[in-house]
Structure 1
Amino acid sequence: MTERILIVEDEKSIARVLELELKFEGYETAVALTGSEALIHFREQDWDLVLLDLMLPEIHGLDVLKRIRASDAKLPVILLTAKNDVKDKVAGLDLGANDYVTKPFEIEELLARIRANLRVKNPVDDNLHRFEELTLNESTREVVRAGRQIELTPREFDLLLYLMRHPKQVLGREQLLNAVWGYDYYGDTNVIDVYIRYLRKKIDFGEDATYLQTVRGVGYVLKEQPHEAQA
């Protein structure tokens, strides 16, 4: 899923540059020009990280930080501070800010700090696989799509796991058969078609988009596609 960053900066030119750079890097963004706007955005939407200028109109950045921390202790917050505001930097870190960048800053340094803080917030879990709104946990053998718990048989789970390990790759029936059923399986390769139908009923039924697509004459691919366009 795309990570979402709230930019809180009252200088419109800086806010615009940050917005363009972050969108170019693939993040979703929103801009707040005042402390009040920042708190409205924070309360109304979920964010993965906040870039917070301290010298804001209406509500000071440190007060915005206090209110964020009062309801979310883990959301990464990077302060944007003036060069000589040592007291504000210290106060911000004491209030729970994760990091700070001094203006004027190099955009590459800021992007690196954003990536570092997002890694801490979302550590890589090799047992957790995600594709769009679909999540599969190898450890707990739980499968969830858009908050909906999906119950799978052991074989269905193993087939979906292999597909999720190779998203957007066209996988042939023989390849799927060997990976999931084993090289010593001597049954009909049509068993793949049967189990794909089982998975579709459980994963794609009633959804706006399907994830399990047929590539005629070849096999299957895990790829998002509107229902009406399904092969």
Structure 2
Amino acid sequence: MEWMDFVPKQILVIHHNPMMISLLQFGLSKQGYHVKNFEDRHYTDSSHLDLIILDSKRAKERDILLTIQSFRHTPPILLLAETPVDDERNEAGEGLDFVKENLNVPFEFEELNLKLKLIWAKYRMKIRPYDWQVSVQHKAFKLNEIEIYLDCMEIRLGHVRQALRKAEIYLLMQLLQRPEQYTSAEQLKLLLAKDIVLDRRRVEYYVNELRRKIEIFDDLIHIQTKRNFGYCLQFKGVS
């Protein structure tokens, strides 16, 4: 099964060589990433960034370091190092203390892809605690480890499968889009109206049925009920 990001990851490239910037933009865009060039200033702050790719020459520029340090939430930073990383850090002083990832130059694009996969795995909870993906081959979605197959009406976690009824899978999709947020039965009824018509009592019934069926995934997700607030899908291990 091949999955791709439902919302492309945002990568900011800061590099002294315009040719390298173009190559990175072309190659990473082909992989489904949304690539921004620091010089274009088409970004506001790091809340819209999943990664910064920074070359060692620009890392020594004070304005670059100050800009990165001014971000409210600094994403992971991948340093493209032309000399041993320890030498780069010593030359830049304390400016590179926040850089945790590096890739030596020159590199093959396959090396960069592998490095990015490692970064996404390592920093997933910091970058995107709720990682929505869509299947390339099937009518299916994935949120973190949970896979939702609309064509065969079931959810999967590894080799464990659970069949759902139409109303249950539509309710699950609505709750998945609002993780850690409470949604009332009345709100769910309105959200489902264009796909399926249910009164409030039927919404409550199907939510309880859904809760019972996903108990097999209880070590990962469960539905919480709060009086006067509604229902909330909670992922364990996500704050």
What's the TM-score once normalised by structure 2's chain length? 0.48
Which one has a bigger Cα radius of gyration?
A: 1
